[in-house]
Amino acid sequence: MQKIKLERELKISHDCGGEFTLPDYVPAIGRILSAECDPAPEGVYLKESEGHGVEAELGGLSVFRILYIPEEGGINGVTIPCDYDTNVVLGPVGGSVICRASTSPENVFCRVTAPRKLQLRCRLGSRISVLSASDAEGGDTFADGMEVRRGTSPAMALSHGASRDLLCASDLSGLPDGAVPMICRASVSISECRPVSPGEYRCRGDILIECVYEKDGDAGTLRDRIGFDETVTLDGDAPTEDAPARAFGTVNSVELHTDDSGSRAEVIYELEVEAAPPVGADVVYDAYSCVCPVDAEYDDTEYLSPAASTSCNFSVNERIPKNVTGRVISAFGRADIAGAAAERGRVRVSGELHGCVLLCSGGEYDVVPWSVPWSCELPGSTDAEDGDLTVWGGASVSGLTARADGELAVDAEVTVSVTAARVCREHVLSSVKPAGEPFPARCGFTVYYPTKDECVWDIAKRFHVPTSAVAAEGNIRADGTPADVVII
């Protein structure tokens, strides 16, 4: 069985975007109302880096969504896809390397350089958890006659699976008569992820679609919810049927189509499941020989012990002391994870919500930024100790509404999908070999008075005898601890 060891956690910043010329069918830009960027990471690709160990290449698609006022008035939107990639040197790592990455926009810059030209740039922040799979078995090559002390540690194995290029569509039948949709965005809300058989998980939830439309020079928002029920099969060996898992969804594209039959929004998305079952990792702590001295070497190793691997939805309702007036046209936001900690058998994950609200007052449009903290509790492993955890995964805003009544009131539905684990450190045996002349043959017997902290193993190692000789009748109590007097 393999242990999953945390080599390091990295955070890198990189850019995507560039200069773009709008197509002829899109009205020329007068004023930008809002610009957002949704990254859809495709994964982390590992390769050898000459002289530096392992190099990771992050790649994916960033989708810019721009809401603006055309030169001739009204309101319009445009969606611009943009590929991105960046490289980072991970350095030397041991074992087979696994990378988990989460990418979110840090800042979006949008500037009009000409009525039909945009300059877009999004500062992306990627957190990479560099893991390595290492063999937890030990002691198999030790010389004959050596006795070893083993232990079992709750390490973690990872299994992953995905369903890609899933499609759903909304016919936007709720639009008012004569309304024209300008721009649409979508998010994935997962309400259930449960195993149906070893290696198969059933994912249920909703695709939430929000479209901004224009009618008679005014703007409004239409929201739709489309349910999904999909099965995701894990790659490779399947874990046990009750292995804890998290599920998360990514929207790859949202296309808006308008023709004589009406308007519809088509969403292409994918679902992924990561199972993180605990495994009993066999660890060798110590060794000795009954017949001759030994030379032992030890290593300090660390590995991940699972605390939680799950997905959940929760609500955030906050009033933000901003002096705002007008009618809310649209609201959008994103969720960032700041950290996680174990508390009394539960895992508390915390972060922050950021976003903007589009307001209309007297025919004028304005954009108000906002930011609020959030936190939620997840069920954790029963043996989890209190303290900080390493966490990877993501949080997304799967539903958002806002009200303006002197202050700004934000109601958000947040989907959190994380794997949280504790970094455990052990002092373990790496090698042992005979050293020196054999011990002289024993004759007679020895009477020994153990201290209160000594166990059978300690006494056997002290006198270089098998543990069975120390654990003979009369030497141990019913609970396996040494008696007050041990005769060897």
Check whether 130 has a pLDDT greater than 60: yes
Closest CA to 414 of 227, 248, 185, 201: 248
**Could you confirm whether domain 440-487 is CATH 1.10.287?**
no
226: Cβ contacts below 8 Å, ≥ 6 apart:
168, 169, 170, 206, 207, 209, 267
Beta strands, E only, 290-363: 294-324, 327-343, 346-361
SS3 245: strand
- Cut 0.85: pTM above it: no
Domain regions of the chain by residue span: 1-134, 440-487
- Tens of pLDDT, residue by residue over 135-190, are 545 445 565 678 888 888 888 888 889 999 999 999 998 999 889 899 999 999 99
Q: What is the band of 332 on the pLDDT scale with cuts at 50, 70, 90? A: confident
Query: How confident is the prediction for the chain on average, in pLDDT?
Result: 87
| Residue whose tokens read 């232990």 | 151
Distance between CA atoms of residues 118 and 19, nearest Å: 6
Mean pLDDT of 215-242: 87
Residue 303 CB neighbour total at 10 angstroms: 25
Whether residue 330 contacts residue 448, with contact meaning beta carbons closer than 8 Å, is answered with no
Whether residue 154 contacts residue 305, with contact meaning beta carbons closer than 8 Å, is answered with yes
- Tens of pLDDT, residue by residue over 425-462, are 888 888 888 888 888 877 778 889 998 888 999 999 88
Distance between CA atoms of residues 201 and 241, nearest Å: 9
Mean pLDDT of 294-311: 86
Q: What is the band of 1 on the pLDDT scale with cuts at 50, 70, 90? A: very low
